Amino acid sequence: MNITDNTILITGGGSGIGLEIAKALSTTNKIIIAGRNKEKLDAAAKGLENVFTIQADITNEQDVNRLIEEIKVNFGGLNILINNAGHAYAYTISDTSDTYSKAVAEFETNYFAPIRLTEKLLPLLKQQENAAVVNVSSIVAFAPGSHVPTYSDSKAALHSYTKILRHELAKDTSVKVFELMPPLVNTDFSAEIGGRENGIPASEVADSFVNALINDTYEIRVGITEVLYNNFFANSEGAFSMMNA
């Protein structure tokens, strides 16, 4: 895939993996980073070339409609959508009485919001010769983590949706569909579950992602995710034990 002269939208682009992807691609593309916090977005974009910000809550349909209208008016179109925004709770099912509410919040951001945003932006993407949808799932899409149970569920659902979307869009469109599957990453997002101590750098995830785009590697299993993936299909119980050791 051509990774220059694109207009790219990254949700949750104000920090972590989203920001590192923006940095990696900003010198040769127009990058739009979107998120809830305007100050955080502006601080992230400061000093970066070709990076623009739009404040929007992707779980709010009015915000989504405004985001899309701004993209149409101010940028004239879109080549690549990166559904990166995420939400997670670290807890165990046996020690809480509000699993349901946590699951609803996680699915709203991690699953339903990407589906809606993708559906609304597909008409723009289909107009381009070089276009892609990228969904950021997780290593826990394959083997759930007991410390992030319903987050794991939401990422497994996103993985399934991504495979179906890729299959359908390959039939009669030029839109390619990628899935980025990082392991534990050293970001603010994962600090609660040990990301600071045990996570890989977000820049490593971004580098793997850019290389996969260039080579049209549609399932991007970064670092230990590849090991877990291979173990999962050989021995699903072993993969589960590996995740929850």
- Just list the catalytic residues: 151
CA 165 to CA 159: how far, in whole Å? 10
CA 238 to CA 245: how far, in whole Å? 10
Please name the helix (run of DSSP H) or strand (run of DSSP E) that holds residue 82, with its range, or none.
strand 80-83
E strand map for 107-228? 131-136, 175-181, 185-186, 200-201, 219-221
Residue among 8, 135, 116, 104 nearest 57 (CA): 116
CA 207 to CA 152: how far, in whole Å? 24
For residue 199, the 8-state DSSP code is P
CA 205 to CA 201: how far, in whole Å? 7
